[in-house]
């Protein structure tokens, strides 16, 4: 795993689910590079601590799942703040949550 391979995979994922960087002072390529590098550094630290590949995968999956929960909470808060209850319900439905 290298930052470049992770960045490439991230770009593939984002092609079907683009992220909105319009209001940020960082571009998508820089953001991908920053996060991919950080993720690879975490993997190197876990390797240095003696974790086996399966154990590292489990930790990385937990990090990804935690980030997904954080993302969900941020999206819910944003939708509620905008007062778009219908959008909130659509978002929940789109992600297999709620009714």
* pLDDT score recorded for residue 37: 94
> Given CA atoms 30, 34, 13, 96 in this order, what sign does their dihedral have?
negative
Judge whether 33 and 3 are in contact, CB under 8 Å.
Answer: yes
**What pTM was computed for the model?**
0.69
* pLDDT score recorded for residue 46: 95
Domain ranges for the chain: 1-50, 53-99
Q: What is the pLDDT along the chain (99 residues), one digit of tens a residue?
A: 788 888 888 888 888 877 888 888 998 889 889 989 998 999 999 999 999 999 999 999 999 899 988 988 888 888 778 876 666 677 778 777 765
């Amino acid at each position: 795993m290298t930052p470049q391979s992770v960045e490439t995979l991230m770009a593939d994922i984002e092609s079907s689910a683009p992220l909105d960087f319009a209001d940020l002072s960082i571009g998508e390529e820089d953001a991908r590079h920053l996060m991919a590098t950080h993720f690879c550094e975490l993997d190197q630290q876990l390797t240095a601590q003696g974790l086996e590949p399966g154990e590292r995968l489990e930790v990385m999956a937990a990090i990804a799942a935690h980030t997904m929960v954080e993302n969900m909470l941020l999206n819910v808060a944003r939708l509620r703040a905008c007062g778009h209850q219908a959008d909130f319900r659509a978002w929940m439905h789109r992600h297999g949550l709620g009714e």
